[in-house]
Structure 1
């Protein structure tokens, strides 16, 4: 796959902090040997999960957001490499594919202004280029019978995840999105706020559930659109669950599962749903980290779980002394998914 910057065993050794008497993920995770066909290697290795990074924030910029999400991959892989390999979770379950090569694209957007209509058009065009690459890579992984673990980048990459998985499965898939926003906005050119609406419009997304919408930041237009599509697009709100207590968090997970579990589904996680996490749309109110981890474990246990995508975290926007914490959080989420997926439950 020419659009991939491989992650080598030397790269892994540089970020793994070795300690006597301990075994870290970085000592057990699998990398693809140099001059080896990556797809053949992934197909034949025993690892079930393929770790893939998308270090871009072009879709965020195109959506009037603050750049910074490009930094999550480096932070995440450094933290994942230093998780303990033990009876609870083993690093050998993961093969590291590497990261999408967006170096030139990121240089091209450095001086673009999203307030300029021509620049905004250029940003959207670049997002469409990324879409093609992501969908091809995800298609290739899923077609081999492996499960992608995707670290973003912006939430624009939901489109490529959904399209690639749908093409590999030969049919539209479903998605559940843990997010403060629907990302189901109008088809106005690609950006991080309309990945799901484009996937839906183009026939790759069958059913879509948004878990924990923030009522203050969801437009009337989006709510009206979803209402018209109630048989295929549904949501609950953070406010109804955690503020007004009209709904129960666990019961809502069950209801959402009933809606999306009839087909393979993607698990989409936007870190802007968690308070005080540095990202382009940082919030002060939202679900807890523990609730997010429970959410991932709950859906990860299902046989129809086709991939997980963790996005929008932006360590570059955090405090200098603690910018490693987003990577550490992503490490928890990745291992929660693997632990759950290793003890699969029936489809229904």
Structure 2
């Protein structure tokens, strides 16, 4: 499959709601027409989406993460351009072309005894596409901001970043789950397991982990290795969370690290594994702002969100992204 689907100026203009006397980000953002624009633009941040839920389905999860990217993009393009937000810093690269794998996934009979294994084969195709795009963005000296899809895409992010830098990198994951499940078929629950196995991930820190949804074998693995660090949500009083997050950040900050935010970590956020317990959206925004100040942070990935019409998913994701871009000093 071709790696990317690019947008035309006309397509972007249709998503913008202009208003006299105001300027929206979508009216100032750079729009890529090909990968060669990565070398031509002086934009610092490169945003692209991954509209898929194949990895979630392969992990026995609820579908829907495929629609978060479009919901985000419509909201993000209509953010106000002002002294705090500058579209000129941003290149809209487009979206990973997932149409073929999504169609193939939809054609697999759920009663097929090899259903999840076949989905896993499709996830591997996504891995390849995501890793190549991330590698090209970082190699061009830009900062990738990746929106959408399941957390299976963390593997592609890590592979691409690791290959761009020529060494394994660290990760700080804000998540209710570790995604360190067994090395079975590829899915949204084992992206970090495969990244460790294949030498793309060195140190892994998880903040906001929920003990009710973490298998004992994963606790055993994390407790036995100096490569892991985690903070349980249940052990963090609200006033302690910022200090505890700094501890998690310190674990990875000395070398290049990716920042992953799984929307499952935010209480009542529409996601593939929505939870009534978790961080507030404002807490997540604060954590994002804290992490973005670190010079070794090399990408941002926000995943597992679902647009369901009852919650302003796109607007919430836009807050997280604009917070990150505003505070970023090293891009």
Is contact 1:148–1:308 with CA below 8 Å preserved after alignment? yes
What residue is the counterpart of 2:155 in the other structure? Answer: 159
What residue is the counterpart of 1:256 in the other structure? Answer: 248
In the alignment, the residues of structure 2 paired with residue 207 and residue 279 of structure 1 have an alpha-carbon distance, to the nearest angstrom, of 26
What residue is the counterpart of 1:304 in the other structure? Answer: 296
Among 39, 62, 66, the residue aligned to 1:43: 39
> Once superposed, what is the RMSD of the aligned Cα atoms?
1.5
In the alignment, the residues of structure 1 paired with residue 5 and residue 288 of structure 2 have an alpha-carbon distance, to the nearest angstrom, of 28
2:214 equivalent to 1:218: yes
SS in 2 for 1:166: helix
What residue is the counterpart of 2:135 in the other structure? Answer: 139
What residue is the counterpart of 1:98 in the other structure? Answer: 94
What residue is the counterpart of 1:183 in the other structure? Answer: 179
What residue is the counterpart of 1:173 in the other structure? Answer: 169
Among 314, 321, 333, the residue aligned to 2:306: 314
What residue is the counterpart of 1:205 in the other structure? Answer: 201
Is contact 2:145–2:301 with CA below 8 Å preserved after alignment? yes
SS in 2 for 1:313: coil
Is contact 1:211–1:236 with CA below 8 Å preserved after alignment? yes
In the alignment, the residues of structure 1 paired with residue 190 and residue 264 of structure 2 have an alpha-carbon distance, to the nearest angstrom, of 16
Is contact 1:75–1:327 with CA below 8 Å preserved after alignment? yes
2:263 equivalent to 1:268: no
What residue is the counterpart of 2:19 in the other structure? Answer: 19
TM-score, normalising length: structure 2:
0.97
CA deviations 1:283-308 (Å, max 9, x no partner) are 01111111100110001111111000
2:248 equivalent to 1:241: no
In the alignment, the residues of structure 1 paired with residue 111 and residue 179 of structure 2 have an alpha-carbon distance, to the nearest angstrom, of 20
In the alignment, the residues of structure 1 paired with residue 85 and residue 113 of structure 2 have an alpha-carbon distance, to the nearest angstrom, of 48
2:42 equivalent to 1:55: no
In the alignment, the residues of structure 2 paired with residue 306 and residue 157 of structure 1 have an alpha-carbon distance, to the nearest angstrom, of 16
In the alignment, the residues of structure 1 paired with residue 290 and residue 303 of structure 2 have an alpha-carbon distance, to the nearest angstrom, of 19
CA separation of 1:234/1:115 partners in 2, compared to 1, >3 Å: closer, same or farther? farther
SS in 1 for 2:35: helix
Structure 2, unaligned stretches of length 5 or more? none
CA deviations 1:217-275 (Å, max 9, x no partner) are 1110110011111x111100110013xx6x81121122112110111110000001111
Structure 1 residue 2: Cα displacement: 3.5
In the alignment, the residues of structure 1 paired with residue 89 and residue 111 of structure 2 have an alpha-carbon distance, to the nearest angstrom, of 44
Is contact 1:16–1:82 with CA below 8 Å preserved after alignment? yes
In the alignment, the residues of structure 2 paired with residue 226 and residue 176 of structure 1 have an alpha-carbon distance, to the nearest angstrom, of 14
CA separation of 1:147/1:189 partners in 2, compared to 1, >3 Å: closer, same or farther? same
Is contact 1:6–1:99 with CA below 8 Å preserved after alignment? yes
Structure 1 residue 276: Cα displacement: 1.5
Structure 1 residue 32: Cα displacement: 2.0
In the alignment, the residues of structure 2 paired with residue 146 and residue 117 of structure 1 have an alpha-carbon distance, to the nearest angstrom, of 43
Is contact 2:85–2:322 with CA below 8 Å preserved after alignment? yes
What residue is the counterpart of 1:326 in the other structure? Answer: 313
Residue-pair matches, total = 331
In the alignment, the residues of structure 1 paired with residue 285 and residue 111 of structure 2 have an alpha-carbon distance, to the nearest angstrom, of 37
CA separation of 1:173/1:112 partners in 2, compared to 1, >3 Å: closer, same or farther? same
In the alignment, the residues of structure 2 paired with residue 169 and residue 113 of structure 1 have an alpha-carbon distance, to the nearest angstrom, of 41
In the alignment, the residues of structure 2 paired with residue 176 and residue 116 of structure 1 have an alpha-carbon distance, to the nearest angstrom, of 37
Structure 1 residue 344: Cα displacement: 4.4
What residue is the counterpart of 1:32 in the other structure? Answer: 32
Structure 1, unaligned stretches of length 5 or more? none
Is contact 2:25–2:85 with CA below 8 Å preserved after alignment? no
SS in 2 for 1:234: strand
SS in 1 for 2:48: strand
Among 203, 222, 232, the residue aligned to 2:227: 232
